[in-house]
Chain A
Amino acid sequence: MLLVVVEEQAGSLSGGSLEAVSCARELAEGSAEALHAVAFAENTDHAADLAAPLSKYGVAALHLLTGEAMAEYCPELWGRAIAELIEHTDATGLVGPASDRGNELLAHAAARTGQPFASNCVAVEPGEVWTLTRLRGGGILLEDAELSGQVRIVSLAQGAVEPVEAATTHEVAVREFTPTLGESLPHSSLAERTSRGSGITLATAPVVVSGGRGVGSAEGFAALEELAELVGGAVGCSRVATNNGWRPHSDQVGLTGTKIAADLYIACGISGATQHWVGCMGAKTILAINTDPEAPLVSRADYAVIGDVHDVLPAVVERVRARREAAAS
Chain B
Amino acid sequence: MDVLVCVKRVPAPGGKLLLTEDGLSVDTRHLGFTIGPHEECAVEEAIRIAAEHGGSVTVLSAGPPETEEQLRYALSMGADHGVLAEVGATELDPEATAAALVETIRTLESESKPFDLVLFGNETADAGHYQVGVRVACALGLPIVGGIKGIELVGGQARVQLKRDVSDGVEVYDTPLPAAAAVKEGLNLPRYPSIKGRLRAKKAPLRTLRPTPEPGGLRTVRLRQPPEKEHATVVLGHGAEAAEAVVDVLAEKGLV
Assess whether A301 is in contact with B233, with CB atoms less than 8 Å apart: yes
Interface of A, secondary structure class, is mixed
CB distance from B21 to the nearest CB of A (A): 15
What are the interface flags for A132-168 relative to B under an 8 Å C-beta threshold, 1 for contact and 0 otherwise?
Answer: 0001111111111111110010010000000000000
Complex: how many Å from CA A107 to CA B139?
Answer: 13
**Which residues does chain B contribute within 8 Å of A118, judged by CB atoms?**
218
Assess whether B135 is in contact with A111, with CB atoms less than 8 Å apart: yes
Interface residue tally of chain A, by bracket? 35 or more
A263 touching B253 in the complex, CB below 8 Å, given contacts A188-B143, A256-B37, A274-B16: yes
Complex: how many Å from CA A316 to CA B256?
Answer: 11
A242 interface residue (CB < 8 Å to B): yes
Which of chain A's residues has its CB closest to B129's CB?
A: A119
Interface residue tally of chain B, by bracket? 35 or more
Assess whether A111 is in contact with B125, with CB atoms less than 8 Å apart: no
B111 interface residue (CB < 8 Å to A): no
Assess whether A145 is in contact with B235, with CB atoms less than 8 Å apart: no
CB distance from A305 to the nearest CB of B (A): 4
Assess whether B238 is in contact with A306, with CB atoms less than 8 Å apart: yes
B231 interface residue (CB < 8 Å to A): yes
Q: Which listed residue, B165, B189, B217, touches A148 by the CB 8 Å rule?
A: B217
Complex: how many Å from CA A123 to CA B247?
Answer: 37
**Which residues does chain B contribute within 8 Å of A306, judged by CB atoms?**
235, 237-239, 242
**Which residues does chain A contribute within 8 Å of B69, judged by CB atoms?**
none
B223 interface residue (CB < 8 Å to A): yes
In B218-256, which residues have CB < 8 Å from any A CB?
218-226, 229, 231, 233-240, 242-247, 249-251, 253, 255-256
Binds B, one of A23-31, A87-95, A216-224, A319-327: A319-327
Assess whether B134 is in contact with A111, with CB atoms less than 8 Å apart: yes
A180 interface residue (CB < 8 Å to B): no
**Which residues does chain A contribute within 8 Å of B175, judged by CB atoms?**
186-189
A75 touching B145 in the complex, CB below 8 Å, given contacts A116-B216, A119-B128, A250-B186: yes
Interface of B, secondary structure class, is mixed
A191 touching B161 in the complex, CB below 8 Å, given contacts A111-B131, A148-B219, A304-B233: yes
Complex: how many Å from CA A191 to CA B160?
Answer: 11
A12 interface residue (CB < 8 Å to B): no
Binds A, one of B58-66, B76-84, B166-174: B166-174
B6 interface residue (CB < 8 Å to A): no
**Which residues does chain B contribute within 8 Å of A256, judged by CB atoms?**
37-38, 125, 184-186
* Listed A/B pairs (26) with beta-carbon separation below 8 Å: A76-B143, A104-B134, A106-B131, A117-B129, A120-B128, A135-B128, A136-B126, A137-B17, A140-B13, A141-B19, A141-B224, A146-B219, A186-B179, A188-B143, A189-B174, A192-B170, A194-B169, A203-B167, A242-B186, A243-B189, A249-B185, A256-B186, A274-B14, A285-B253, A300-B233, A304-B236
- What is the interface of chain A, defined by CB distance below 8 A to chain B? 75-76, 79, 100-101, 103-104, 106-108, 110-112, 115-120, 131, 135-149, 152, 155, 186-197, 201, 203-204, 206-207, 231-232, 242-243, 248-250, 252, 255-257, 263-264, 273-275, 285, 287-288, 293, 298-308, 311-312, 314-316, 318-320, 323-324
- What is the interface of chain B, defined by CB distance below 8 A to chain A? 13-17, 19, 26, 37-38, 93-95, 98, 125-131, 134-135, 137-139, 141-147, 149, 161-162, 165-176, 179, 184-186, 189, 216-226, 229, 231, 233-240, 242-247, 249-251, 253, 255-256
Given contacts A142-B224, A195-B169, 14 further A-B contacts (CB under 8 A): A100-B166, A107-B130, A117-B131, A119-B131, A136-B128, A141-B26, A141-B224, A141-B225, A143-B127, A188-B175, A189-B173, A300-B229, A311-B240, A319-B246
In the complex, the 3 A-B pairs of residues with the closest C-beta atoms, listed nearest first: A249-B186, A116-B217, A315-B243
